[in-house]
Chains A and B, each alone.
Chain A
Amino acid sequence: MTHETEEFLEKYGKTILIVLPAFNEAKTIENVMEELLEKGMQLIVIDDGSYDETTSIVGKVHKKYPQQVHLYRHPINRGLGAAISTGLEASLSKNPRVIVTFDADGQHHIDDLVPVVKPVIEKKADVVIGTRNFQEMPFRKKFGNNVMNIITRIFYGMGVSDSQSGLRAISPDAANIMELHSRDYGVSSEIIGEIKRKDLTLIEVPIETIYTDYSLSKGTDTKIGLKILARLIKNIFK
């Protein structure tokens, strides 16, 4: 962590509320949570019906930091979109200065929090999206994300460099007026749509992505595309 990050988090850490949607993230969630909690940030964890050890791990961390961790559990898995909606709704009651959505798979770098959060704290933007570098992205990820960018542009009329990024900062006012209905990964595009519909200011800042075998197995890629195709065929024969 850089000195600048440390200084910034020392000053604003307590007013940053992180929304952490988690579905079967037992391998990484403890480290991700600890790293954020040590910096004094508030965490809203939405356990989206996980059936691995996630629930007990999150419970354990919650006991360690009872004042900083707010735990919500969907009894059944309803998808990323539903988890983010629950997280945003829950966060509004905590009066944060800024709400950040953060992936629980360990792909985000804590140093990237500063550029993402700063414009919202300084009231220069309503929403900031951390844009991943597509050049560094493995091909199957790059392909999936490019397709989703095109789809977002077609259906929501707004072109952004990385519509599927999980790292975003949202001002409480913006979170309050956003109406999200999408249950799955479509929520990322829907947020872009809401930015346009509600005329919110958007800033995109470049972020780093930590690619591990684990984080590569999550998120938007060709595998998700194939899954959609499989579900599509299943639906036809149902």
Chain B
Amino acid sequence: MLIYQYIGLLIGIIGIIISILRFRDGKMSLSMVLVWITIWVLLLIFSAYPAATTLLTNITGIGRGLDIILIFGLIGCFYLIFKIYGMIENIEEEITLLTREIALNKKENTEKPDKD
């Protein structure tokens, strides 16, 4: 096995663990955890069996040299999207906390008639 295969396997496994932990903590929705696990599993498959990618290279006609750039580029992109997705989820959670806090604080005033 080549170095990039080990790196791919490592990133894939870490990705799956982080996804499951985030889902368990309620920080990731079910749909997204399934999408991410699928992506990481695909990465694992392509890392362990690079031959599987020749199917793709045959279709696209891209040779081996470009493959490496593509693979690393894609891994990098996935990582960034994953990070951004995590950030959005955190923001969503913060908005929820704010909304809940507003509801809990405002309750004390509901005895007075609401403006609307």
Contact = CB atoms under 8 A, between A and B. Distances in A.
Interface of A: 46, 49, 55, 59, 62, 66, 70-76, 78-79, 81-82, 85-86, 89-90, 151, 155-156, 180-184, 186-187, 190, 193, 228-229, 231-232, 235-236
Given A46-B103, A74-B103, 14 more contacts: A59-B114, A71-B110, A72-B106, A73-B106, A74-B99, A76-B99, A78-B96, A89-B100, A182-B26, A184-B29, A186-B30, A228-B30, A229-B31, A232-B34
A218 to B, nearest CB: 18
Given A82-B99, A183-B96, A72 B104 contact: yes
Interface stretch (B5-13, B17-25, B51-59, B68-76): B17-25
Contacts of A180: 26
A49 B106 CA distance: 14
Contacts, number: 77
B32 A73 contact: no
B26 A190 contact: yes
B96 A90 contact: no
A181 B27 CA distance: 7
Given A74-B100, A90-B104, A193-B24, A228 B31 contact: yes
B23 A66 contact: no
Contact of B25 (A46, A76, A79, A181): A181
6 contacts: A75-B99, A90-B104, A90-B107, A181-B27, A183-B92, A186-B26
Interface residues of B, number: 27
Nearest to A73: B103
A187 B29 CA distance: 10
A55 B116 CA distance: 10
Nearest to A71: B110
Contacts of A89: 100, 104
A70 B104 CA distance: 11
B39 to A, nearest CB: 10
A137 to B, nearest CB: 20
B95 interface: yes
Given A190-B26, A228-B30, A75 B104 contact: no
Given A82-B96, A181-B25, A183-B96, A75 B102 contact: yes
